[in-house]
Amino acid sequence: MRIIKNSLATIVCFSFATLIIGCGGKSSNAAEASSAQPLQVSQKQEQPVDNQNSEISNANNNLKMANVETVAKHEIDSNLLKSTKAACNTSDAAGFINQLGYSRELAAKYFAKEITIAEYTKGSKGEPKIRKIKAANYIFPISLLDFMWVQTGSFERGNTKYLAIEINQSGNNQISVDYQTLPKAPSEDGDGDTSARSAIDYELPYSTILFQPKGNCWELTEVDVHN
């Protein structure tokens, strides 16, 4: 009987132990699964945060770069303005126009409130077609690109149009700027100065920008278009 009891006890203990281990195994896996699940969720939740942090960092860097560019632009405009005022003070028409060619914002400071646009048709004996536009709606049509005159905005559009330029100053201190589109980029002269370029062919279409004296400087008042 003792042997049987002992055998039964052993079987019961073995069965009970197996049950505990089996349950323990399942419980352990479940616990691991349970503990792993929140971890995975946590990792998934952290990913957008990392992305957001990266986006915020990039945005901050872009903002810093924009601030640097803005400061640099202001410094450049400030220097150009000083040079432009110096040209005004010395009645240097060519120097004045050259400075305006570097910045359309600077050029706009020297526009009359209203600009007259006169269109002339070659061979026509009639009066030119006249229209007036507000200064805010006018863009200075000539710009400097690597010391060469180009049509404003043409370089940005990927279709650079080079210009021939002639600057004249009258005895009563008026400035006229004749400009004409060239079929190709002008070649540099021996000194590498491209401001001295091909002469304007007045048999072909060209335009003239007129500046009138104002104070000790000038203002743009009229544009004549010769078609």
- Amino acid 64 reads K
**How far apart, in whole angstroms, are the C-alpha atoms of residue 97 and residue 88?**
10
Q: Comparing 14 with 158, which gets the higher pLDDT? A: 158
Whether residue 154 has pLDDT greater than 90? yes
Give the pair of three-digit tokens for residue 141.
């049509």
pTM score of the predicted model:
0.64
Report the pLDDT averaged over residues 218-226.
Answer: 98
Model confidence over 88-134: pLDDT tens digits?
Answer: 999 999 999 999 999 999 999 999 999 999 999 988 888 999 999 99
The structure tokens listed for 8 are 């039964």
Report which of residues 48 and 225 the model is more confident about. Answer: 225
Q: Identify the pLDDT of residue 183.
A: 87
The answer to whether residues 84 and 97 touch, using CB atoms and an 8 Å cutoff, is: no
Q: Name which of 206, 199, 74, 201 is nearest 141 in CA terms.
A: 206
The contacts of residue 130 (CB under 8 Å, 6+ apart) are 116, 117, 118, 119
The CATH architecture one would assign to domain 93-226 is Roll (3.10)
Distance CA 130, CA 58 (A): 51
What are the tens digits of pLDDT across the range 11-62?
A: 434 343 443 344 344 433 333 334 444 434 444 444 455 555 555 555 555 5
Give whole-number Cα distances, 209 to 80, 137, 201, 226, in Å. Answer: 20, 16, 16, 11
pLDDT at 163: 94
Q: How many CB atoms lie within 10 A of CB 44?
A: 9
DSSP string, 148-195: EEEETTTTTTT---BEEEEEEE-TTS-EEEEEEE-SSPPPP-TTS-TT
Which pLDDT does position 164 carry in this prediction?
93
pLDDT band (50, 70, 90) for residue 146? confident
**Mean pLDDT, residues 180-208:** 75
pLDDT score at 45: 47
Label residue 187 by pLDDT band (50, 70, 90). Answer: low
Share of the chain above pLDDT 90, in %: 51
Instruction: Using alpha carbons, select from 209, 206, 204, 213 the residue that is nearest to residue 222.
Output: 209
pLDDT tens per residue, range 65-74:
444 344 444 4
Q: Which residue has the tokens 């691991």?
A: 32
- Mean of all residue pLDDT scores within the chain: 75
* 178/15: higher pLDDT: 178
Domain ranges of the chain: 1-90, 93-226
Check residue 189 and give its pLDDT: 53
